Amino acid sequence: MAKRSLRNSAGVPFLTLKGFFVVRGKQMPDGDTISFAASKRYSSGPVKTNVPVNSTGQRTVNIRLQSIDSPEKAQPLGAASRNALLRHLGFDPDALGLADDDFTASGTPKKVVGWIATHGLDGNQRPLAYLFRGNPGFSHGRVESAADIMTVLRSSANYQQTTRGWAFPAFYENTDEAHALVFQQGGETARNSKRGVWVADVTTTGFVPTKDALGASGALVYPKFFRRVQKWMNAKPNAASFINWLKRQRDGKKLVQGALPSAVPLWQLFEVVSARKVAVPYDVIKLWFTE
């Protein structure tokens, strides 16, 4: 049998940049988002990006960490995931004025030297990137292949968030599949060791699809599904009504691969568990989404 080719494998160019991770007043970092600015000029080549060049840290762009999805601010473990990322990068969450119930920085602005490898922008025009506290061997402004990035992937903050259980793996059609396999393995390691999110996650067993039920003191579900519930305006628990509503939404029609043999609309991932509860009975580590 012929070996299956991996999608995007080694075909996605990455731009490597040295710069500063920044947290300043009124910013709201979380477990998969932080501000960054390049330290000196660069040419982006074939990589579409909007990373500014600014040595003061006053002009930055929010970076979305590639291949992961961390709990949102309003979810359980949202603050723990944020703190884990900040500490890994060299920040002190307390000194930044951040608390479990307060995601708005108010302390003294701080910047930390670091590196990113970015390959493009997400739907919100945020650079998608792997983050590194130290230089894993990059040159500023150089375009590297996905295969080159593969060699240092496990030293990225993204991978650390995954293996320590502070983020779920998350993949889109522009993800390099060889990279995804690394993150799937990292997610399985965290799940088997019952770390972080995997202790609390009830995505596959069933949850009430209301904001109150899934709030910071409620149940934890895969963040992408939580965001769909946030848009659901009905506060009354009704499983069938929620799925019917999601079916009509644009987000609900986006295709998902990895759950069934063929891609299906997102809404079809949900099933009724009871009159009040729904569940997504698929391994979220293996799901691939359209943007």
Averaged pLDDT score across all residues of the chain: 94
- Between residues 73 and 3, which one has the greater pLDDT? 73
Tokens for 182, please give them.
Answer: 């690394």
Indicate the pairing of strand 68-69 with strand 168-169. Answer: antiparallel
Q: Which H or E run includes 111?
A: strand 110-121
What pTM was computed for the model? 0.94
Q: What percent of the chain has pLDDT over 70?
A: 97
CA atoms 65, 68, 74, 76: torsion sign:
negative
Mean of pLDDT values over 274-282: 97
Quick: pLDDT tens for 139-192.
999 999 999 999 999 999 999 999 999 999 999 988 999 999 999 999 999 999
pLDDT band at 2 (very low <50, low <70, confident <90, very high): very low
Tokens standing for 108? 């003294």
Question: Does residue 1 surpass a pLDDT of 70?
Answer: no
pLDDT value for 36 = 98
pLDDT category, 57, cuts 50, 70, 90? confident
Half-sphere exposure of 189 toward its Cβ, with a 13 Å CA cutoff?
Answer: 13
Which residues touch 80 (CB under 8 Å, ≥6 apart)? 166, 196
CA distance 50 to 287: 28
Task: Tell me: pLDDT of 35 over 80.
Answer: yes
**Would you state the CATH architecture of domain 14-192?**
Beta Barrel (2.40)
| pLDDT tens-digit map of 112-142 | 999 999 999 998 999 999 999 999 999 999 9
CATH 2.40.50.90, the chain: domain bounds: 14-192
Question: What percent helix, strand, coil does the chain show, rounded to 5?
Answer: 25, 25, 50
